[in-house]
């Protein structure tokens, strides 16, 4: 039994067989063979090694033919030449004969053993490169072993615990149907893994550091999303303890199911509409399950990540259509246009940035990138407009920092509308248009922007970072990041007031809207719409149902008088305890 510690990012407990993801989603089956099959298995492995070595030599030959022997030698990765290696052959054969493992699993164990030895010897960058080479070698030989038996991950139906270095889009594109939990070597509380886990509503632990070389597919593992632990090969007593915790968790979440159909209305009858934040179309039904009134933020970045080409208009449209079908024609779906930096893009668009940007968060990203690459932008706009004919679609522009940018966006949108009209393609002409308020300049000019949009959405995650000039992922300054810093609260209040004067709807779609402790403050500042991760909606609803608007306004007034984030945070915790004794920490 081996206990690893990391950062918990989604609560809950999962007990199950591990599925180790490599970047190609190759699943390594683990079998126990009868003694009379071992010779054949060793022979099968030998054949795969020979085939891998031959393939490499052939590749090297053809590369040398194209670029000359010298350069061919330099460019060619020799990892595959190891396929012939006698130590590898001997070690794998030992696993097959000694432990009666199948060749795939034996290979995996051998490679992981080598990686572990590398890690023990240190060696920094040098060792890192070698580690990559070893995994490449494993992948190549596995390809020959699995042959046509290669199973795409989606075919895995048994509930599994997914283990990976990181859950990048290429890995998550391959997830099996039934994932019970995630555990990754890298990542922090705002990482992709955390967002995914929240979307799926499953336990997750990140930032565990190296552990993949200690585990193989099929091993029993426990993910403790409360304490942030990953337990490899737990003993029976530990399994029993965790089964008890898991059972207890299940009964605790039941009260939220009861609240699902109750309206999000304060004790004095004021409605605070609750919407869901989603990233994948498959999360849309989850929003409804949790009692959301619609989708307040559909992050469309996933359509772009880790592809070799930018998504087509059809791909965009199909995704939007899926969400609209799930939600029906009457529930709002706010689609946010691309909000990524150029570094995350397909090669085609990535060419815009030739040297690495020194300050990507202040650089060519998000709407700025779209305005400088109109073809890309218009593809998405066309798809959004087409989708608007099928439901209550609303469009939102991220990271607007000046009035000119917003005007520019609206002009381009108008051009696209004209194009569609000419082509006879239907769309809703009075599609509501909104902007994210996340850059301080936009917050300060909210009164001007309010005249040019139908709604605002306050993106508190980035607004807090930009206002306090602190990167929440930088552990040296993360302490400065606090959504209830008085400066941020003043900006939010200003935005809500400006919106009110122009009859513009405002909501908060950042993490703040998913935390019970901030709800009285937000409602008290005048917000009547919140968009949160679906899993949190029932809790937020409970807080809303425990408030009266005068209560909430009192809380907001007091909080806005305070001078430090710490005072505000402490005050809000105390106030939440008054409204909902069992919800406060």
Partner 1 sequence: MSTNGPLRRTVTVANPMGLHMRPATAFAQLARAYRSTVTVWNGPARADGKSSLDLILLVALPGASLVLEVEGDDAAAAIDPLAALLGAPGDGL
Q: Which residues bind partner 1 (CB under 8 A)?
A: 73-74, 77-79, 81-82, 85-88, 114, 117-118, 121-123, 126-127, 129-130, 133
Question: Three-state SS for 564?
Answer: coil
Q: How far apart are CA 417 and CA 419, in angstroms?
A: 5
Residue closer to partner 1 (CB basis): 81 or 389:
81
CB of 133 to partner 1, least distance (A): 6
The alpha helices in 204-353, defined as continuous H runs, are 236-258, 284-289, 313-327, 347-350
Task: Identify whether the C-beta of residue 225 lies closer than 8 Å to the C-beta of residue 7.
Answer: no
Size of the chain in residues? 585
Q: Which residues lie below 8 Å from residue 153, measured CB to CB, with a gap of 6+? A: 19, 21, 25, 27, 174, 175, 176
Residue closer to partner 1 (CB basis): 76 or 182:
76
CB of 69 to partner 1, least distance (A): 13
Q: How far apart are CA 218 and CA 232, in angstroms?
A: 11
Kindly state the DSSP code that residue 200 receives in the 8-state scheme. H
Q: CA geometry: angle at 186 spanning 144 and 474, to 5°?
A: 150
Residue closer to partner 1 (CB basis): 73 or 99:
73
CB of 66 to partner 1, least distance (A): 18
CB of 46 to partner 1, least distance (A): 16
**Annotated catalytic residue 192:** yes
CB of 62 to partner 1, least distance (A): 19
CB of 464 to partner 1, least distance (A): 44
**Angle between helix 565-579 and 537-546 (nearest 10):** 80
Kindly state the DSSP code that residue 101 receives in the 8-state scheme. B
Cα torsion angle, 206, 208, 209, 211, sign: negative
Q: CA geometry: angle at 517 spanning 513 and 523, to 5°?
A: 60
Q: Which residues lie below 8 Å from residue 220, measured CB to CB, with a gap of 6+? A: 15, 16, 17, 18, 233, 234, 239
Residue closer to partner 1 (CB basis): 117 or 573:
117
Among candidate residues 192, 286, 316, 370, the one labeled active-site is 192
CB of 351 to partner 1, least distance (A): 27
Which pair of tokens denotes residue 567?
């005072």
Does an H or E element contain 14, and which? strand 13-20
**Annotated catalytic residue 10:** no
Q: How far apart are CA 6 and CA 227, in angstroms?
A: 8
Among candidate residues 10, 287, 370, 509, the one labeled active-site is 509
Residues forming the active site: 192, 509
């Amino acid at each position: 039994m081996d206990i690893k510690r990391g950062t918990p990012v989604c609560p809950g407990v999962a007990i199950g067989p591990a599925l180790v993801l490599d970047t190609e989603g190759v699943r390594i089956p683990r079998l126990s063979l009868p003694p009379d099959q071992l010779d054949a298995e060793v022979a099968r492995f030998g054949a795969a090694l020979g085939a891998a070595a031959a393939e490499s030599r052939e590749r090297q030959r053809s590369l040398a033919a194209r670029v000359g022997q010298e350069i061919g030698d330099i460019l060619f990765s020799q990892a595959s030449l190891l396929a012939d290696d006698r130590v590898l052959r001997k070690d794998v054969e030992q696993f097959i004969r000694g432990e009666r493992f199948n060749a795939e699993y034996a290979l995996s164990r051998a490679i992981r053993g080598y990686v572990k030895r590398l890690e023990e010897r240190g060696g920094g960058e040098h060792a890192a490169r070698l580690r990559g080479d070893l995994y490449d070698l494993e992948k190549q030989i596995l390809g020959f072993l699995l042959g046509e038996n290669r199973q795409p991950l989606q075919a895995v139906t048994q509930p599994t615990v997914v283990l990976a270095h990181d859950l990048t889009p290429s890995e998550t594109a391959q997830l099996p149907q039934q994932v019970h939990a995630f555990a990754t070597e890298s990542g922090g509380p705002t990482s992709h893994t955390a967002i995914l886990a929240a979307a799926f509503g499953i336990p997750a632990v990140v930032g565990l550091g190296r552990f993949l070389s200690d585990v193989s597919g099929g091993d029993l593992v426990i993910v403790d999303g409360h304490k942030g632990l990953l337990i490899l090969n737990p003993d029976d007593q530990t399994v029993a303890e965790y089964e008890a915790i898991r059972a207890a968790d299940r009964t605790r979440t039941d009260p939220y199911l009861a609240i699902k159909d109750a309206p999000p209305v304060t004790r004095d009858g004021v409605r605070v509409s609750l919407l869901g934040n989603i990233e994948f179309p498959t999360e849309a039904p989850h929003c409804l399950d949790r009692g959301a009134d619609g989708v307040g933020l559909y992050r469309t970045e996933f359509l772009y990540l880790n592809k070799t080409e930018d998504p087509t208009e059809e791909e965009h449209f199909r995704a939007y259509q899926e969400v609209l079908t799930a939600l029906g024609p009457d529930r709002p779906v706010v689609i946010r246009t691309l909000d990524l930096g150029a570094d995350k893009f397909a090669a085609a668009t990535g060419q815009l940035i030739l040297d690495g940007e020194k300050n990507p968060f202040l650089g060519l990203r998000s709407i700025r990138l779209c305005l400088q690459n109109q073809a890309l932008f218009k593809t998405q706009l066309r798809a959004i407009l087409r989708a608007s004919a099928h439901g209550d679609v609303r469009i939102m522009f991220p990271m607007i920092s000046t009035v000119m940018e917003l005007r520019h966006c609206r002009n381009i949108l108008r051009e696209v509308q004209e194009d569609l009209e000419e082509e006879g393609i239907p769309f809703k002409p009075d599609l509501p248009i909104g902007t994210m308020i996340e850059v301080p300049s936009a917050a300060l000019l909210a009164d001007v922007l309010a005249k040019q949009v139908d709604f605002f959405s306050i993106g508190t995650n980035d607004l807090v970072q930009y206002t306090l000039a602190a990167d929440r992922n930088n552990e040296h300054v993360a302490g400065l990041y606090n959504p209830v810093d008085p400066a941020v609260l003043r900006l939010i209040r200003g935005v809500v007031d400006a919106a009110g004067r122009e009859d513009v709807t405002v909501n908060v779609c950042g993490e703040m809207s998913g935390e019970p402790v901030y709800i009285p403050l937000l409602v008290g500042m005048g917000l009547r719409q919140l968009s949160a991760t679906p899993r949190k909606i029932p809790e937020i609803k409970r807080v809303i149902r425990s408030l009266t608007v005068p209560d909430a306004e009192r809380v907001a007034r007091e909080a806005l008088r305070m001078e430090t984030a710490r005072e505000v945070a402490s005050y809000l915790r105390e106030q939440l305890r008054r409204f909902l004794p069992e919800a406060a920490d």
